[in-house]
Amino acid sequence: MNPDLMNSDVHERARLMIALFGEERPGPEELSNAERSWLAAHLESCASCREFAENSRETIRLLRAIPITAGERLVSTTQMRVRQRAQELQRQQERFWVVCVCCAAVTLSTLVTTPVLWRGFAWMGEQARLSPPVWEGGFVVFYLMPAVLAGILLLARGTFLTDHNGSYQD
């Protein structure tokens, strides 16, 4: 086998171990004793991997130092944004469901009540001896009333939500 490739495999293995686990941290879930002593022996004999280990230690130290000042604010603003977005989505979803349920209810009640209402108005028209255009007009007014009321209610609800939640106005 090519000795250069062998060597590069060894260095790669050492650097991978350093990058993933750090070279001095003990722990049963991390490097085994054999791996740790192999890495120590390799670092002893290999200047470039030793440099890599020092660099990675330094990088980790810097990374740990920075978040102390920037981290809390970043984390809290990120959490806030995520929460806001989640709430927005939830509200939109709730509103969507309200509209869906209303539409379904209106459609269902229309399907059920239209023929009944029509026959009722026809019967009342006959009893009152009204001409068909008169009771038909009455039927139309009565028939459109729930839709008009539902529209007003939905509008009022939308206005209420917008007034009480400044974060979404669409």
Task: Write out the binding residues for Zn ion, residues 12-31 only, by CB under 5 A.
Answer: 14
| Cβ 81 to Zn ion shortest distance, Å | 44
Residue 1 is given by DSSP the state -
107: number of CA atoms within 13 Å, CB side? 6
Binding window for Zn ion (CB under 5 A); candidates: 4-12, 86-94, 121-129, 135-143: 4-12
Nearer to Zn ion, 8 or 76 (CB): 8
CA dihedral 58, 60, 62, 66 (to 10 degrees): 180
Handedness of CA 21, 4, 47, 36 (dihedral sign): positive
| Cβ 59 to Zn ion shortest distance, Å | 18
Site for Zn ion (CB under 5 A): which residue of 13, 19, 38, 46?
46
- In one-letter notation, the amino acid at residue 164 is H
> Looking up tokens 């059920």, which residue turns up?
112
| Cβ 72 to Zn ion shortest distance, Å | 38
Nearer to Zn ion, 15 or 121 (CB): 15
Task: Write out the binding residues for Zn ion, residues 47-106 only, by CB under 5 A.
Answer: 49
Residues 11, 46 contacting (CB under 8 angstroms) = yes
Nearer to Zn ion, 14 or 17 (CB): 14
Residues 18, 52 contacting (CB under 8 angstroms) = yes
Residues contributing to the site for Zn ion (CB under 5 A): 11, 14, 46, 49
